[in-house]
Amino acid sequence: MSYKITPVERKVVSVSYEAYNNNQLGFTTRQLHAGYNPAEHYKSKAVPIYQTAAFELGDFDRCTRLFNYSEEGHSYVRFSNPTNTVLEKRIASLEGGAEAIALGSGMAAISNTFLNIAVAGDEIVAVSTLYGGSTTLLRSILPDYGIIGRFVEDENDIESYKKVINQKTKAIYIESLGNPGMNIIDIEAVANLAHEHGIPLIIDNTFATPYLLRPFDFGADIVCYSATKYLAGHGTTIVGIVVEKGGFNWLNGKFPQFEKFYEEYKDTIGKDTLDETMFTKRLRIRYLTDFGSHLSPNSAFNVLQGMETLSLRMRQHTANAKAVAEFLESHPEVLSVSYPGLESSKYHELALKYFPKGPGAILSIRLKGGLVAAKKVLEEVKLFDYMVNVGDAKSLIVHSATSTHFGQNREEREKAGVYDDTLRLSVGIEDVEDLIADLKQALDKIMY
């Protein structure tokens, strides 16, 4: 029997795929679909990995348009790749931002952001409660290139920020949940101060993810991620992402490098696009292109896969973290627990304001028995893995002073809440009873 096949008119873009880009759809729907139209990729349901170094340019005119950025498209994978584009669009949607860029690591995201915003002679105001790598960058590396990190005395006192801001300041940089102290800064107040001075607020939102906090809703202008952590979510991939809210006025007289860029590209990229997303455009054309830290498409695929379950994982992570924090607070060997979800935390009120779904799943503890006790717990835990990473679905534990904050002197470390007796826990999504039992048996073994 033979079938008569009638040719059908195929729509290239179906309405439902366009709907995925609609920011009115829920977070969980968008984490699965935003930024991807299967009709543009042979209807592949999974986002394809474009494993190629370059793309055919077509004809002479198209090549010219691609290279002067008057046409969107892909030419060489150091600049862009369709797999990465889906990741960039998806995170921009979840974040409520205008555009995003994927880079080879969280540190690449942060360092390239600083280099895009500041040139020799400029300053960046930051807090002491940062991931160790970011502090080292601002204190010890960028100064060799003429960019100075100025650290505020007290990150909870807005007057402290005012004291270090001057004409050379080009940005304020904070973390939404500090590493490892889990301190919370009043983002709105700092954003207002930054804007009074015509400079952007940059936030590392790694520990929170857009599911728990969307910094743009509180005035931030740029968000950086180590997507290595919760966004990828399974400890498989090193990834960084930068998201731009859009609309910051880079032509306000404080950023000559953006004025130069605007003149160069206003006729090809277009003034409206540059007014909205000049930070990202310059980051891609200047830094991604010539410093060369674009993400590989394989890694982009891993993050996309991880992000499909972000909201589900974050719900379990935060519920587990609260229960673990409460248990630890009640254990006689524990001196203190830093977790803003606890009523005893000095950041509890800010946690209620900024983190109604829970302030993440990382916490740090100090032990009464000092360094000896910390070593004992690391030796005895069986479910918690002794690892320097965070944000894995599996539970992890580390001694920050000898790992993440290695290389900082005692004063710098202690300002970030890292003492010899401090352990940082990244609470995973295992059954919480098992996690508590593991910590209990390890803590109970501490001897003097």
Residue 17 or 386 having the CB closest to ligand PLP: 386
Nearest approach, Cβ of 262 to ligand PLP (angstroms)? 30
Residue 137 or 383 having the CB closest to ligand PLP: 137
Tell me the C-alpha distance between 323 and 301, whole Å: 33
Nearest approach, Cβ of 9 to ligand PLP (angstroms)? 47
Q: Is 60 exposed, middle or buried (0-12, 13-18, 19+ CB in 10 A)?
A: exposed
Residue 314 Cα distances to 147, 176, 300, 340, angstroms: 36, 16, 20, 16
Binding site for ligand PLP (CB under 6 A): 105-107, 131, 133, 175, 179, 204, 206-207, 226, 228, 238, 240, 390
Residue 81 or 226 having the CB closest to ligand PLP: 226
Beta strands in 158-253 (DSSP E): 169-175, 201-204, 222-226, 240-244
Residue 165 or 303 having the CB closest to ligand PLP: 303
Nearest approach, Cβ of 240 to ligand PLP (angstroms)? 6
Residue 107 or 187 having the CB closest to ligand PLP: 107
Please name the amino acid found at residue 66.
L
Joined together, the tokens standing for residue 36 give 């991807």
Task: Residue 93: name the closest of 213, 188, 210 by CA.
Answer: 210
Strand bridging mode 99-103 / 240-244: antiparallel
Nearest approach, Cβ of 21 to ligand PLP (angstroms)? 27
Residue 182 or 194 having the CB closest to ligand PLP: 182
Nearest approach, Cβ of 314 to ligand PLP (angstroms)? 16
Please name the amino acid found at residue 228.
T
Nearest approach, Cβ of 371 to ligand PLP (angstroms)? 22
Residue 133 or 181 having the CB closest to ligand PLP: 133
Task: Residue 311: name the closest of 426, 415, 429, 407 by CA.
Answer: 429
- CB-based contact 147:177 (threshold 8 Å): no
Task: Residue 209: name the closest of 362, 23, 385, 387 by CA.
Answer: 362
Nearest approach, Cβ of 297 to ligand PLP (angstroms)? 17
